A and B are shown apart, each in its own frame.
Chain A
């Protein structure tokens, strides 16, 4: 099934339109519902350590690695097989947990959401489509 979303309006010195979707993360008996930026430029998705804490993920015990942005380095830890749900479509992803990340505390990228769904950005219409792949 294909879902069409309008871009969301985000605050700042200049109002920003961005592709944002509601997402649920599940870690055992702990659920966390938030909104994620859909980012085709992000190699992998991320959540902040604050969200990881809400999911009772003991992220401090995971191996710390170095990642890169256009402006420098950051440290992250990877949590494997996090149960994720968007519009009742469940799937598992590996998610990076990053300290002090801002402004978005949750981003989904190419190695997670984009492997599970066909995503089309239609910036001229301020809309994007997500069509989840069917897995047997």
Chain B
């Protein structure tokens, strides 16, 4: 299975999450990306952190 965002994003409301480099843990959440980045960037060191929106519905997306 690829990344299980249903598990990863469960319980997080509208906003953004910071995801660990192994895609398995949420390291932080905030309502806005800039607030989240300010919190996470100073602590992450050399670790890669992925930012992804939370609280979105991806059902029936037509791109």
Interface contact B33-A54, CB-CB below 8 Å: yes
Chain A positions within 8 Å of B1 at CB level? 6, 8-9
Interface contact A18-B51, CB-CB below 8 Å: no
Total A-B pairs, Cβ < 8 A:
90
Interface residues in B, total, Cβ within 8 A: 29
Given the interface pairs A9-B4, A11-B9, the reply to whether A16 lies near B59 with Cβ below 8 Å is yes
Closest chain B residue to A35, Cβ basis: B52
Interface of A (DSSP majority class)? mixed
Given the interface pairs A41-B63, A70-B62, A104-B61, the reply to whether A8 lies near B2 with Cβ below 8 Å is yes
Chain B residues at the A interface, C-beta cutoff of 8 Å: 1-7, 9-10, 19, 23, 32-34, 37, 48-53, 56-63
The 8 closest A-B pairs by CB, nearest first: A12-B59, A8-B2, A103-B56, A10-B58, A6-B2, A12-B57, A8-B3, A14-B59
